[in-house]
């Protein structure tokens, strides 16, 4: 870490700073207000904003007859974007733009919801036939008869006599499945079954799903169609880039084209979110043709197998291991047919949609940032066509394993940035804190950092609408029009008291992100995983066995093992997969849980992947197989006979793999770590305390960087941590930007043991440098909470209370004074129970003469909510740790005299909003302590 790198760490540039999701009311804005809000975000320490054309909210100055000018891509919108770009570019404040208004993706270029370029579903109607049938092809009730629908295929299959009922029907005989589409005449068919059994006749109908983008009243596009993606980019070319000067601003800004999570439903008949489960599949007109070309067999006879009820609807079920409503009796075939269907959708999404958008964006000096989850697709393959992959805290439920569904692709595709939309929590509008354990933003972000994330986009901030007309006027209340924050937290702009302290938090995030974007990631393990997760499957927040053992890991898939970088090299004297990148020390072929039963099951494994594992093991890479040996291939080869041949080949290749010297088979995850120890695969970070830590590592020539995090919400980590690396250990303080070498115990195999104390939810940054450019001074030890100390109970509290002003966007400030002989939450003080705002606590103290190191005088604030500043004798302390809340104050203290101590605390707006929202509950806030000064240690 050079001197200039340390300077960049102290004052990170805009590129390393967190970004803000910025919700805009269409073009109903003022250029001066746009400029003011951009300047505030830049001053508050944000590096950029993601612009979203939310709902159009007319203001009272605009006549209804003029509303048409204010739409997305219209003259007023383009003028506002010009103003935004002209304000942002001189500040080096980068603007990102959603590909269309709001979400899911829609474009004014397609306004007819019956257009074939709209998102579609495949519906299935059935009728039981014995002997001959002449009549109408069955149409299901899921079809909207008032809109266009199209016959896609007609098939039949014989029911198993005496067979079990799965889903909607008795199981079907796979070998009898037949395509009858060629026998249709319009909407009728004449057909005679080949024997006397009971046959199920299927009619498959495609229909646009009727899903609308509410921002502009346009239908959602087909995400598998190149024509649909071309319509989106074509609208940009013809309307947003119609003015060459505005186009030049977009290109000079060099921001990202952004797409949110894919919130598609195969049908809207069951509703949008938490939909009534229906047997309708996501569809696109080219699926059958593309499936045949890509998979090598015809899907048409097997279409009944894809209809897992609710699977293709948001919130209706993620059961990709579930049965179809019309399953075949040969159960081993059904899941593989569905896998082939999902794989085809994945490839169409990647090749037609993502690639089209990325190439267009790159052609205009922009990158594509995309949340590619939300459909039944395989996540890692699609990320090959995304410049900046993004995850989210909401959809993945703050699960580190959920974030790892993409981290392996980020690392093996060598993407520099792995972004996260952080801060959307249902029901936490104006309640979410920066520092708390109850979905605090840093609690969420630290979990992401631990799993490979290195860029935060806060959700979010609304434009300060000055007025609203029409039905929006009734929603226009103090503290202003919250376009999303009243439901999904949070409003992180100036309307909350904590905004006064934003810079301290954004500086901390920026310094953390600076470290996490240096060099290349280094990850201990690659865990093989092939599974279609459906609609972003969360995995829980409890620590996994691998995390408890101290290992870092990514999930990798068959396609990732085929990337050019996935070859065996050497890192730190040991074999490593992708040695110049993540340098995985071993591959774990683990079990996974069935999404329906919850039972552990072996991973599906293509024969080609087994061959790849044999090749890697032959080059010395350790591989551990867990639980049942993989015996199921991923794909269906077109017939049961060929499937049995494939699975026989897989078992033979697994036997060959197990015969390799560096391969182990263990019964369960608990035995993995003994096998890894035998193979000399140990974590890069080892903790010597009963409490586990999470970590992330970056490698740069001459330097190893470590991010360490205590995920506990109530226990402090206090012990030694062993870090892999040779050189000088340096503690990097992300709160104040300092970098100090520290004393360390040296261990064999190039490991440094450092003492570490981390409060619940606290993180730490370390670097191990080959050379230290700033001298030999060591960081002074901090007190452990013993020795001389003073507890301060009596305080004078002055509160600046925030309450509604004369207008919805104006805030009245009320002055309240309280004398305290004990620190308590404002909710326990009658004068402050329903008050939000800024509190300033003042007290005086004397300390005895002090002959020791001034750095050992520590102020411990105890409990605080939410953010704070500290002043000692009128001097503000920069970079106070908002999580650990233990602050060195020795250089500010005068001994043998009176010292004044002031703590300024900012709250959320929750308690002040209780008066207008009876559903809100009091939220503890203020300085709750105990406040203690430790010294003479």
pLDDT band at residue 774 under the 50/70/90 scheme:
low
- The per-residue pLDDT for 749 is 74
The mean pLDDT value of the chain amounts to 93
Instruction: Return the percentage of the chain with pLDDT > 90, whole number.
Output: 85
CA distance 170 to 168: 7
- The per-residue pLDDT for 672 is 97
CA distance 336 to 635: 5
CA distance 853 to 935: 9
- Residue 449, classed as helix, strand or coil, is helix
CA distance 175 to 330: 9
Residue labelled with tokens 């080892």 = 686
> For 6-59, what is each residue's pLDDT tens digit?
889 999 999 999 999 999 999 999 999 999 999 999 999 999 999 999 999 999
Angle between helices 502-516 and 441-450 (to 10 degrees): 0
DSSP3 helix / strand / coil % (the chain, rounded to 5): 25, 30, 45
What average pLDDT does range 907-921 have in this prediction? 95
- The per-residue pLDDT for 854 is 64
Judge whether residue 393 has pLDDT over 70.
Answer: yes
Report pTM: 0.96
pLDDT band at residue 514 under the 50/70/90 scheme:
very high
Tokens standing for residue 570: 């050497």
Instruction: Return the percentage of the chain with pLDDT > 70, whole number.
Output: 96
What average pLDDT does range 709-734 have in this prediction? 95
Q: Is 534 within 8 Å of 595 (Cβ atoms)?
A: yes
> For 369-381, what is each residue's pLDDT tens digit?
999 999 899 999 9
> Which pairing describes strands 367-370 and 132-136: parallel, antiparallel, or unpaired?
unpaired
C-alpha count within 13 angstroms, C-beta hemisphere, residue 350: 16
Tokens standing for residue 774: 């700033």
pLDDT band at residue 493 under the 50/70/90 scheme:
very high
CB-based burial, 854-875: b 16+ in 10 Å, e otherwise: eebbbbbbeebbbbbbbbbeee
Judge whether residue 658 has pLDDT over 90.
Answer: yes
> For 60-90, what is each residue's pLDDT tens digit?
999 999 999 999 999 999 999 999 999 999 9
pLDDT band at residue 781 under the 50/70/90 scheme:
very low
- Per-residue 3-state assignment (H helix, E strand, C coil) for 182-196: HHEECCEEEEECCCC
> For 830-880, what is each residue's pLDDT tens digit?
999 999 999 999 999 988 766 556 667 899 999 999 999 999 999 999 999
- The per-residue pLDDT for 537 is 60
Q: What angle do CA 869, 875, 878 make, to 5 degrees?
A: 45
Q: What angle do CA 451, 456, 461 make, to 5 degrees?
A: 145
> For 890-913, what is each residue's pLDDT tens digit?
889 988 889 999 999 999 999 999
The kind and range of the H/E element at 570 are: strand 568-571
Tokens standing for residue 735: 């709160």
Using alpha carbons, select from 733, 687, 787 the residue that is nearest to residue 515.
733
- The per-residue pLDDT for 936 is 66
CA distance 412 to 580: 10
The phi and psi torsions of 630 (rounded to 5 degrees) equal -55, 130
Burial (CB < 10 A; 0-12, 13-18, 19+), residue 118, is buried
CA distance 441 to 34: 26
pLDDT band at residue 776 under the 50/70/90 scheme:
very low
Judge whether residue 139 has pLDDT over 80.
Answer: yes
Least confident of 447-456, 510-519, 885-894: 885-894
List of domains in the chain = 3-108+223-263+345-516 (3.20.20.70), 120-211+266-337 (no CATH), 542-678 (no CATH), 685-769 (2.60.40.1180), 788-935 (2.60.120.260)
DSSP 221: B
> For 147-170, what is each residue's pLDDT tens digit?
999 999 999 999 998 888 888 888
CA distance 288 to 224: 13
- The per-residue pLDDT for 1 is 60
- The per-residue pLDDT for 185 is 95
> For 475-492, what is each residue's pLDDT tens digit?
899 999 999 877 788 999
Between the two ends of the chain, the Cα-to-Cα distance in Å is: 32
What average pLDDT does range 540-567 have in this prediction? 96
């Amino acid at each position: 870490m050079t001197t200039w790198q340390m300077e960049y760490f102290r004052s990170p540039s805009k590129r390393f700073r967190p970004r803000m999701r910025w919700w805009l009311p269409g073009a109903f804005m003022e250029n001066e207000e746009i400029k003011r809000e951009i300047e505030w975000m830049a001053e508050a320490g944000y590096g950029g904003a993601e612009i979203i054309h939310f709902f159009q909210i007319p203001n009272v100055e605009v006549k209804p007859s003029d509303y048409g000018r204010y739409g997305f891509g219209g003259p007023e919108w383009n003028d506002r974007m010009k103003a935004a770009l002209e304000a942002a570019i001189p500040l080096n404040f980068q603007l990102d733009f959603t590909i269309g208004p709001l979400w899911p993706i829609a474009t004014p270029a397609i306004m007819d919801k019956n257009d074939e370029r709209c998102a579609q579903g495949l519906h299935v109607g059935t009728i039981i036939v014995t002997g001959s049938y002449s009549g109408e092809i069955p149409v299901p009730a899921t079809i909207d008869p008032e809109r266009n629908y199209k016959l896609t295929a007609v098939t039949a299959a014989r029911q198993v006599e005496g067979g079990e009922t799965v889903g909607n029907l008795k199981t079907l005989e796979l070998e009898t499945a037949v395509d009858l589409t060629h026998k249709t005449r319009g909407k009728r068919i004449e057909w005679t079954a080949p024997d006397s059994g009971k046959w199920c006749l299927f009619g498959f109908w495609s229909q646009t799903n009727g899903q609308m983008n509410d921002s502009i009243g346009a239908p959602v596009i087909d995400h598998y169609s190149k024509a649909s993606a071309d319509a989106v980019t074509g609208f940009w070319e013809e309307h947003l880039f119609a003015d060459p000067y505005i186009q030049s601003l977009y290109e000079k800004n060099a921001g990202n084209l952004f797409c949110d999570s894919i919130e598609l439903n195969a049908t809207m008949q069951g509703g949008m979110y938490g939909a009534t489960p229906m047997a309708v599949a996501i569809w696109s007109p080219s699926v059958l043709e593309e499936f045949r070309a890509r998979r090598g067999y015809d899907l048409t006879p097997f279409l009944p197998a894809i209809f897992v009820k609710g699977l293709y609807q948001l919130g209706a079920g993620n059961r990709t291991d579930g049965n179809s409503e019309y399953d075949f009796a040969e159960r081993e075939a059904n899941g593989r047919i569905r896998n082939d269907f999902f794989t085809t959708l994945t490839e169409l999404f990647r090749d037609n949609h993502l690639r089209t958008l990325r190439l267009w964006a790159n052609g205009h000096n922009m990158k594509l940032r995309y949340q590619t989850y939300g459909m039944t697709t395989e996540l890692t393959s699609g990320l090959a066509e995304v410049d900046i992959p993004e995850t989210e805290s909401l959809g993945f439920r703050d699960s580190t394993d959920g974030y790892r569904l993409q981290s392996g692709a980020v690392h093996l595709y060598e993407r520099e940035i792995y972004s996260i939309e952080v801060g959307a929590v249902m029901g936490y509008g104006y309640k979410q804190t920066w520092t708390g354990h109850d979905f605090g933003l840093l609690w969420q972000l630290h979990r992401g950092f631990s799993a490979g994330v290195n860029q935060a986009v806060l959700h979010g901030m609304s434009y300060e609408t000055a007025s609203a007309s029409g039905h929006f006027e009734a929603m226009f209340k103090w503290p202003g029009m919250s376009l999303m924050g009243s439901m999904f937290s949070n409003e992180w702009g100036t309307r909350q008291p904590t905004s006064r302290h934003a810079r301290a938090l954004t500086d901390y995030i920026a310094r953390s992100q600076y470290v996490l974007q240096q060099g290349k990631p280094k990850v201990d393990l690659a865990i093989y995983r092939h599974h279609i997760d459906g609609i972003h499957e969360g995995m829980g927040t409890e620590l996994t066995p691998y995390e408890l053992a101290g290992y870092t890991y990514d999930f990798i898939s068959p396609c990732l093992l085929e990337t050019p970088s996935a070859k065996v090299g050497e890192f730190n004297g040991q074999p490593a997969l992708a040695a110049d990148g993540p340098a995985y020390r071993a591959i774990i072929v683990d079990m996974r849980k069935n999404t329906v039963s919850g039972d552990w099951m072996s991973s599906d494994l293509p024969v080609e992947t087994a061959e790849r594992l044999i090749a890697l093991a032959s080059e010395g890479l350790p591989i551990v197989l867990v639980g049942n040996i993989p015996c199921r291939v991923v794909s269906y080869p077109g017939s049961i006979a060929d499937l049995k041949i494939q699975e026989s080949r897989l078992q033979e290749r697994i036997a060959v793999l197990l015969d390799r010297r560096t391969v182990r088979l263990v019964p369960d995850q608990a035995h993995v770590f003994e096998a890894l120890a035998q193979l000399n695969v140990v974590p890069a970070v080892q903790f010597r305390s009963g409490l586990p830590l999470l970590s992330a590592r970056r490698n740069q020539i001459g330097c190893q960087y470590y991010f360490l995090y205590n995920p506990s919400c109530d226990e402090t980590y206090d012990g030694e941590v062993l870090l892999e690396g040779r050189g000088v250990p340096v503690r990097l303080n992300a709160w104040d930007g300092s970098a100090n070498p520290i004393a360390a115990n040296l261990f064999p195999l190039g490991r440094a043991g450092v003492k570490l104390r981390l409060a619940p939810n606290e993180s730490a940054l370390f670097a191990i440098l080959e050379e230290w450019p700033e001298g030999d001074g060591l960081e002074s030890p901090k007190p452990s909470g013993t020795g001389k100390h003073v507890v301060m109970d009596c305080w004078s509290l002055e509160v600046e209370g925030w309450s509604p002003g004369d207008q919805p966007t104006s805030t009245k400030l009320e002055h309240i004074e309280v004398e305290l002989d004990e620190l308590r939450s404002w909710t326990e003080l009658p004068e402050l129970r329903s008050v939000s705002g800024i509190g300033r606590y003042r007290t005086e103290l004397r300390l005895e003469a002090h002959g020791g190191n001034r750095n050992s005088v520590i102020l411990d604030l105890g409990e605080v909510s939410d953010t704070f500043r500290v002043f000692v004798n009128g001097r503000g302390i920069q970079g106070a740790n908002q999580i650990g809340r233990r602050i060195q104050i020795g250089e500010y203290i005068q001994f043998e005299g009176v010292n004044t101590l002031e703590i300024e605390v900012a709250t959320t707006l929750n308690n002040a909003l209780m008066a207008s929202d009876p559903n809100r509950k009091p939220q503890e806030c203020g300085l709750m302590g105990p406040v203690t000064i430790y010294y003479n240690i």
